Each structure stands twice: as C-alpha cells, then as structure tokens.
Amino acid sequence: MSAKRGGWILLTSAYCVREAEHNLPKLSPKAAEHWRRIIKPALTVVGTHLVLDRPLIYRAIKDRPVVITALTLKADVLLTLDRDDFHDLLGSSVYGLPIRTPGEFLKGLNR
C-alpha cells in the first residue's frame, strides 16, 4: 500500500534522511533503488528544533533525535527498521507514540 493511497503524510527530518541513507548499504541491494524511486519522493522533510518538554531517557544517544522529532511533530507512529537500537521499544511506545517496523504497521492495518 502506498502512503498516498493510505492517506498518510510521511514526515521526517533531515537527520533521519541522513541516517536512512547511511544505513541503506546494510539492507538488500534493491533497497537504495526503492529508497530513491519510491520512498524518498513520498517524504516531507520538515525542520525541527530538537526540544522536548519532558525528559527522554533512551540509551541510544544517536537515535534520540529520531524519537524527539517524532514526538515534536506529534506523529501517529514512528516507523523504523533499526532493530538493534529500538529493539526494546518495538511494539511499545514512548509518551504514547507507538514504535513499529513498517511491516508491523502494515500488518496492523488488517486487524
């Protein structure tokens, strides 16, 4: 299902785009092509000030901006493929923000 068909707005920050592009080589050989052709054009990159009005205790310092950006933008869900750093949060939430892999998110639509 495409974001447009689903009526979703895919918001991200420049930091998250850089992180995704940095990690593309870790995925399948087709990942970079899909990123360039399908995913990146569907994204809306927004400026964020990484400010949170509450404490965020999260061990993966480099990924705190990802969580803070999603909270600041009042996202409905944070989607990530980073199972290493987000393993303890996948399937749960931070301040009410659900954290899912894209696959988990799409599977949840059919329930």
> Tell me: the pLDDT tens digits for 49-76?
656 666 766 565 677 788 888 888 889 9
Residues 58, 62, 64, 70: is their CA dihedral positive or negative? negative
SS3 77: coil
Our count of domains for the chain comes to 1
Q: 3-12, 37-46, 83-92, 97-106 — which is least confidently predicted?
A: 83-92
Model confidence at 13, pLDDT cuts 50, 70, 90, reads confident
Question: Which residue range forms the structural domain that includes residue 40?
Answer: 3-109
9 with 44: CB under 8 angstroms? yes
